[in-house]
Structure 1
Amino acid sequence: MAKKGKKGKGGKKKSKRVKWDDDADIFQRKFLKTYYEQCEFDKSLPCVWLEKALKQGIEDRLYARKFIIEELEVGEKDAQIPPVRLKPVLRSIRNERFVHVHEICAWDLETEHSEIADLALLLEKGFYPVRRVELMDCDLQFFSVARLAKSFRVSNLVEINLDYNEFGDQGCAGFCNGLKGNRIMLSVSLCYCELTRESGVLLGQVLRTTAVREFYLDGNKLGCEGIVEMLRHAASHAEAEHYKRIEEERLKALMMTEGAMLASDKMIKSQITTDGASTDPGNETALSGAPDDSGKKKKKKKKGKKRKKKEVAPPVVGPYVNILHIADNTIDIYNDGRDNMLFQCIEVLKQIIKFSPNFVELDMDDNVIGNRAAKQLLHALDERKIATLPAIKVRTTAEIEQATYSAIVKYAAGMKKKKKKGKKKKKKK
Structure 2
Amino acid sequence: MAKKGKKGKGGKKKSKRVKWDEDSDIYQKKFLGTYEMQCTLDKSIPCVWLQKALKKGIEDRMYARKFIIEEVDVGMKDPNTPPVRLRPVVRSIRNERFTHVHEICCWDLETEHDEVADLALLLEKGFYPVRRIELMDCDIQHFTVARFSKAFRVSNLVEINLDYNEFGDAGCVGLCNGLKNNKIMLSISLCYCGLTPKSGEPLGEVLCKTTVREFFLDGNQLQCDGVIEMLRYAAANAEHENSQRIEEEKMKALMIAEGALETSDKMLTSQVTTDGGVTTEGGADSAGSKPGSGKKKKKKKKKGKKKKKAEALPPVVGPYVHVLHIGDNGIDSYGPGREDKLFLCIEVLKRMLMYSQCFIELDMDDNVIGDMAARELLAGLDARKLGNLPAVKVRTTAELGQTTYESIAKFSFGMKKKKKKGKKKKKK
Shift of 1:311: 2.6
Q: How does 1:272-283 map to 2 (within 5 A)?
A: 272=272, 278=278, 280=280, 282-283=282-283
Q: Aligned equivalents of 1:120 and 1:294: distance in 2?
A: 72
Alignment: residue pair count: 422
Partner of 2:360: 360
**Alignment CA distance shift 1:145-1:294 (3 Å):** farther
Q: How does 1:27-46 map to 2 (within 5 A)?
A: 27-46=27-46
Deviations for 1:107-133, whole angstroms, at most 9, x for unmatched residues?
000000000000000110111000000
Q: Aligned equivalents of 2:174 and 2:11: distance in 1?
A: 65
Q: Aligned equivalents of 1:292 and 1:330: distance in 2?
A: 79
Q: Aligned equivalents of 1:32 and 1:106: distance in 2?
A: 18
For 2:419, give the aligned amino acid.
Answer: K
For 1:296, give the aligned amino acid.
Answer: K
Q: Is the 8 A contact 2:273 2:285 kept in 1?
A: no
Partner of 2:378: 378
Say whether 1:235 aligns with 2:206.
no
TM-score with structure 1 setting the length: 0.95
Shift of 1:280: 4.1
Deviations for 1:12-35, whole angstroms, at most 9, x for unmatched residues?
662321100000000000000000
Shift of 1:269: 1.7
Partner of 2:399: 399
Partner of 1:413: 413
Partner of 1:143: 143
Shift of 1:264: 1.4
Q: Aligned equivalents of 1:276 and 1:414: distance in 2?
A: 64
Q: How does 1:196-211 map to 2 (within 5 A)?
A: 196-211=196-211
Q: Aligned equivalents of 1:295 and 1:277: distance in 2?
A: 15
Partner of 2:225: 225
Q: Aligned equivalents of 1:399 and 1:293: distance in 2?
A: 76
Shift of 1:293: 6.0
Q: Aligned equivalents of 1:299 and 1:279: distance in 2?
A: 28
Residue 383 of structure 2 aligns to a residue whose secondary structure is helix
Deviations for 1:244-296, whole angstroms, at most 9, x for unmatched residues?
00000111111111111111112222231688575546252435165656622
Q: Aligned equivalents of 1:221 and 1:335: distance in 2?
A: 14
Q: Is the 8 A contact 2:135 2:161 kept in 1?
A: yes
Q: Is the 8 A contact 1:143 1:171 kept in 2?
A: yes
Q: Aligned equivalents of 2:140 and 2:217: distance in 1?
A: 17
Q: How does 1:282-297 map to 2 (within 5 A)?
A: 282-288=282-288, 292=293, 295-297=296-298
Any unmatched runs of 5+ in structure 2? 1-6
Any unmatched runs of 5+ in structure 1? 1-6
Q: Is the 8 A contact 2:277 2:285 kept in 1?
A: no
Residue 67 of structure 2 aligns to a residue whose secondary structure is strand
Partner of 2:299: 298
For 1:300, give the aligned amino acid.
Answer: K
Report the more deviating stretch, 267-276 or 39-48: 267-276
Partner of 1:182: 182
Partner of 1:78: 78
Partner of 2:213: 213
Q: Alignment identity in percent? A: 69
Residue 27 of structure 1 aligns to a residue whose secondary structure is helix
Shift of 1:308: 3.2
**Alignment CA distance shift 1:341-1:180 (3 Å):** same
For 2:60, give the aligned amino acid.
Answer: D
Partner of 2:3: none
Report the more deviating stretch, 101-110 or 373-382: 373-382
Residue 133 of structure 1 aligns to a residue whose secondary structure is strand
Q: Is the 8 A contact 2:287 2:294 kept in 1?
A: no
Deviations for 1:48-102, whole angstroms, at most 9, x for unmatched residues?
1000000000000000000000011121122110111000000000000000000
Q: Aligned equivalents of 1:66 and 1:310: distance in 2?
A: 28
**Alignment CA distance shift 1:347-1:275 (3 Å):** same
**Alignment CA distance shift 1:137-1:266 (3 Å):** same
**Alignment CA distance shift 1:258-1:293 (3 Å):** farther
Partner of 1:160: 160
**Alignment CA distance shift 1:277-1:232 (3 Å):** same
Q: Is the 8 A contact 2:107 2:135 kept in 1?
A: yes
Q: Aligned equivalents of 1:144 and 1:266: distance in 2?
A: 73
Residue 52 of structure 1 aligns to a residue whose secondary structure is helix
Q: Aligned equivalents of 2:231 and 2:175: distance in 1?
A: 18
CA RMSD of aligned residues (A): 1.7
Q: Aligned equivalents of 1:269 and 1:11: distance in 2?
A: 60
Q: Is the 8 A contact 1:67 1:105 kept in 2?
A: yes
Q: Is the 8 A contact 1:285 1:291 kept in 2?
A: no
Residue 284 of structure 1 aligns to a residue whose secondary structure is coil
Say whether 1:262 aligns with 2:266.
no
Deviations for 1:312-368, whole angstroms, at most 9, x for unmatched residues?
221110000000000000001122210000000000000000111100000000000
For 1:106, give the aligned amino acid.
Answer: C
Residue 78 of structure 1 aligns to a residue whose secondary structure is coil
For 2:210, give the aligned amino acid.
Answer: T
Q: Aligned equivalents of 2:311 and 2:409: distance in 1?
A: 38
